[in-house]
Chain A
Amino acid sequence: MTAMAGLGIAVAFKPGPASAEASEIVVCNWGGAALEAFQKAYGEPFKAKSGMEVIIDGAGPATGAIRAMVDSKNVTWDATDGGMVDAVVLGKGGYVEPIDYSIVDKSLVGEGLAAEFGICNYTYSNVLAYDAKKVGATAPSSWNDFFDLEKFPGKRTMCKWIQGQLEAVLLADGVKPEEMYPLDVDRAFKKLEPLLPQLIFWESGAQSQQLFRDGEVVMGNIWHTRANLLRKENPDYTWTWNQNLMFASAWSVPKGNPAGKKVFDFINSSLDPESQVTLLRLMGNGPSNPKALALMTDEDKAVYSLAPENAKSGLPISAQYYADNEAELQNKFLDFISR
């Protein structure tokens, strides 16, 4: 909060119109280890190219925060690190600028990763992660096993935020990936209900890691980036790529951003394969630029959700579906799990 207030003051007292001669790009992400990683992967290469400083603010670009900034005409962020769904929702509400594809080279990212109001900066997946010491001789290998309390007794964790939760439930219930959308919510709730007493819901990535470290859960539906950090700590924590749920994260540009069009130079630079591989190595966030694959070692590919081996059983999460239904669905889900 103080950081945000400080930023607001800094912008308010900046001499002259901010957009005329922007000297810095302010990027907002979700903080933690991502502060340093974004600086290394995106900030430093961009500064070397353009001379412009990149400031990373870890305040968390929730759609509500962006809307509040735009509504109060006091925008301090140039680029925000949200999901592709957020980009579509914010675009529909008129809170973000369309991506200027005369500056940003659309062909740098893979198919379906460039949208009107957001372009994919990295990819990640929700995966079935587990504690190998606790699950016994055979490891869980599909969402079916997530529901199998006899073979794998113990608590599980799922996320309180809806994206990628019901897909796993429906896959376990036998829904074919190609028939996933629109989600059959009632069917998912029916399948999930008996499992509720065994579930702990996480709300932040750090918390999902902590549940494994504390030995509270034997398996969980968590981001592969967090599973990767857990495995680096202790190889007993690992995950299966089978039936992973593939997400695209995206840069968005809040309407009236301080650096104006300059932000698109930054966005274009962030799509550089080298930058993206750097981020993959630091955080596990996967490149959106297919050319990055050529720069990867086998070790890199093992944590890259779009590596052919990992992507083949993956289910791409439909951003459009969530853009249209998330608010309704999120409230239904919170109501369902708190009953």
Chain B
Amino acid sequence: MTSFQRWAFCLTVPAALLTLCLYVLPILQVLALSFTEPTVGLGNYVALFQNAAIGRVVRTTVFVSAVTTVLTIVMSYAVAFALVHMPPATRRVALFMVMVPFWISVLVRAFAWITILRRNGVLNSALVGSGAVSQPLELVYNQFGVIVGMVHYMMPFAIMLLYANLSEIDLRIIQAARSLGARPVSIFFRVWLPLSMPGLAIAGLFIVIFSLGFLVTPAILGAGRVLMVAEYISVQISSTLRWGVATALSTMLLLVVGILIALAMRSPALRAAFEGGRK
């Protein structure tokens, strides 16, 4: 270690201490409740696996998160791919449009979706008015509405992550493929797609982790009919006072996320994504 490196290391110590005291310790304190509330032992964890209702909540969460992730990634890839191919002036406008939702609170966005999706909302009025459907469609207060809201929330994140990855791809490789006679379809599947794996992997991981703990959007757009883990935990904390079960479920969620990250880090694509900066 050079003396510069030692100095640089020392500068990170205060931030690390602060994080440890104000973030890690309180989290551990909360997680400890899962072993002590209401009685000492593993009772809460046993209850998690024996409770059919919690099983259903977990299944709903996994299903909604998986569908959200797949849809988000597919659509975001299309947008990011288009961004890379735009002339710079158009791209600036497009990037701006992608960023706009970031400035609007998640609550406002959920209520905006209700206005659009409800029975006599914007979309249904247009559909019924144009004669496309005779009865308004059930677009919200169900899993469909929740997924629409979540995909909309996640897309800007995924687009930015994918755009960062795609714009780093050396366009000379594409030219080389073309000059060797590859058709556009095979250029996409054999050049673009393999080279975007790091971006896809990191965006996918990010969206899955984010979705698993989503609270506001499912609660509002699901209106009781779609119960996900985060909302279940929130009910146990604030109204039923079953803190033991709530913290046990939080611990499990944290563990699952940790395992997901650990597994993902074993894949070369994700390691490449994290090491991308070191050139």
| Chain A residue with the shortest CB-CB distance to B242 | A327
Q: How far is the CA of A56 from the CA of B60 in the complex (A)?
A: 39
**Please, how many residues of chain B have a CB less than 8 angstroms from a CB on the other chain?**
26
Nearest CB of A to B238, in Å: 4
Kindly state the separation between the CA atoms of A202 and B237 in the bound complex, as whole angstroms: 19
Measured in the bound complex, the distance between the Cα atoms of B121 and A63 in whole Å is 36
Q: Which residue of A lies closest to B234 (CB)?
A: A64
Decide yes or no: A338 and B226 within 8 Å by CB, A93-B241, A155-B119 being known contacts: yes
CA separation between A332 and B235, bound complex, in Å? 12
- By the criterion CB–CB under 8 Å, are A63 and B241 in contact? yes
Q: A201-B224, A332-B53 are in contact. Are A216 and B240 (CB under 8 A)?
A: no
CB contact under 8 A between A216 and B238, given known A200-B141, A201-B225, A332-B53: no
Verify A65–B118 contact, CB threshold 8 A.
no
The reply on B232 being an interface residue by CB < 8 A is yes
User: From residue B27, how far is it (CB to closest CB) to chain A in Å?
Assistant: 15
Please report the C-alpha to C-alpha distance between residue A335 and residue B60 in the assembled complex, in whole angstroms: 11
Give A328's nearest chain B residue, CB to CB: B240
Interface residues of A in 213-255 (CB under 8 A from B): 214-216
**Interface contact B239-A161, CB-CB below 8 Å:** yes
Whether A64 contacts B237 by the Cβ 8 Å rule is yes
Contact with A along B219-248 (1 / 0, CB 8 A): 100111111000010011111111100000
A14 in the interface, Cβ–Cβ < 8 Å? no
Cβ contacts under 8 Å, A202 to chain B: 223
In the complex, A334 Cα to B118 Cα: how many Å? 22
Q: Is A320's beta carbon under 8 Å from chain B?
A: no
A217 to chain B minimum Cβ distance, whole angstroms, is 9
A200, B117: Cα distance in complex, Å: 14
Closest to A157 in B: B223
Q: Given the interface contacts A93-B241, A334-B232, does A214 sit within 8 Å of B118 by beta carbon?
A: yes
Chain B residue contacts of A63, Cβ below 8 A: 238-239, 241
Question: Are A334 and B224 closer than 8 Å at their CB atoms?
Answer: yes
The chain A residue with its CB closest to the CB of B53 is A335
- Minimal beta-carbon separation of A154 from chain B (angstroms): 9
Chain A residues in the interface with B (C-beta under 8 A): 62-65, 67, 89, 93, 155, 160-161, 200-203, 214-216, 326-327, 330-332, 334-335, 337-339
